[in-house]
Amino acid sequence: MTAQTLGHLNGPTAPHIAFWYGDTYIGETRGHPDDVDGAKARLARHIRILENVADAARLTGMLENYTEAKVVCGSTVTPVKELTSSAGLLRRLQEAGYSTDRNDDVGIQYVLMVVHDPIRDLVVGLQKLRGPAFLIGKLTFPGGRLEKGETVEEAASRELLEEAGVVVSVDAWKFVCRHESMAILAVKTDDILRAHQCEDEPVFVMNVTRQLEYAARNPAQYSPDFIITLEASLATLG
């Protein structure tokens, strides 16, 4: 009589999908590289069940904005998906209600500016002390309302100078996306260390990597779309 084979117990290890946010390991679950979203959903359920409330909120926020997923099979670990790809970012932007179609700036009343120094990997941040209640006290980016007759780029250059003291030429801005009546523009500059508080709202020069990690761990301290806004802007700037 032939001995029965014990199936997967003696066979290869079932593949798992493991998730990272930057250098931080979030967790893993069984899954296939062709269905990373399914593995992400399973891991989210496990986190909600197994973790305490504080850790669950932190890990869920990081998982929602994970930067890398890897397939783990035995001792082999292989990257399977990068959400910094254009396809991944586009999907996340759409899920958050953003559009990459400028639509001739029809209906745009506000502009938000992401100002990046790629050499030092710094970005200009601003703490909201006025405006909508849900933004008060949150860390976001400089921005403001268009004045009569202004283009979006003209408003961006004016607002950045008024709020943070940084000069950027009108033709240097790149369109990133729009959300209802707000446009998001981004620009590269090596003049970022000049940024300082010029009005009533505090201005900061922030390290990009650290802020993305902090925002994932402490989402309540940041504007709701801080992470996707920053990542989409960096991708646009290249």
Q: What is the pLDDT of residues 172-214, one digit of tens each?
A: 999 999 999 999 999 999 999 999 999 999 999 999 988 988 8
Same domain for 71 and 118, yes or no, is: no
Instruction: Let me know if residue 205 belongs to a domain.
Output: yes
Same domain for 71 and 27, yes or no, is: yes
Same domain for 126 and 222, yes or no, is: yes
State how many domains the chain has: 2
Instruction: Let me know if residue 1 belongs to a domain.
Output: no
Same domain for 102 and 213, yes or no, is: yes
Same domain for 78 and 108, yes or no, is: no
Q: What digits encode the pLDDT tens for the residues 5-61? A: 333 444 445 688 999 887 789 999 988 777 788 889 999 999 999 888 888 888 988
3-17, 74-88, 114-128, 144-158, range with the lowest pLDDT: 3-17
> Biggest alpha carbon distance in the chain?
89
- Spatial CA neighbour of 82 closest among 236, 187, 235: 235
Instruction: Let me know if residue 135 belongs to a domain.
Output: yes
State the residue range of the domain holding 55: 7-85
| DSSP structure string for 81-148 | EETTSHHHHHHHHHHTT-BS--GGGTT--EEEEEEEETTTTEEEEEE--SSSGGGTT-EE--EEEPPT
- Spatial CA neighbour of 40 closest among 74, 11, 69: 69
Instruction: Let me know if residue 90 belongs to a domain.
Output: no
Dist. CA 28–CA 24, nearest whole Å: 12
- Spatial CA neighbour of 128 closest among 232, 230, 226, 229: 226
Instruction: Let me know if residue 2 belongs to a domain.
Output: no
Dist. CA 65–CA 61, nearest whole Å: 7
Quick one: pLDDT band at residue 86, thresholds 50, 70, 90?
low
Q: Which of 63, 85, 107 is the last residue of a domain?
A: 85
Q: Across the beta sheet with 68-73, what order do the strands follow?
A: 24-30, 16-21, 68-73, 76-82
State the CATH number of the domain containing residue 218.
3.90.79.10
Residue 78 pairs in a beta bridge with: 71
Same domain for 221 and 126, yes or no, is: yes
Instruction: Let me know if residue 32 belongs to a domain.
Output: yes
Dist. CA 159–CA 180, nearest whole Å: 20
Q: For residue 82, what pLDDT is reported?
A: 46
Q: Which of 30, 65, 85 is the last residue of a domain?
A: 85
Q: Which of 52, 85, 118 is the last residue of a domain?
A: 85
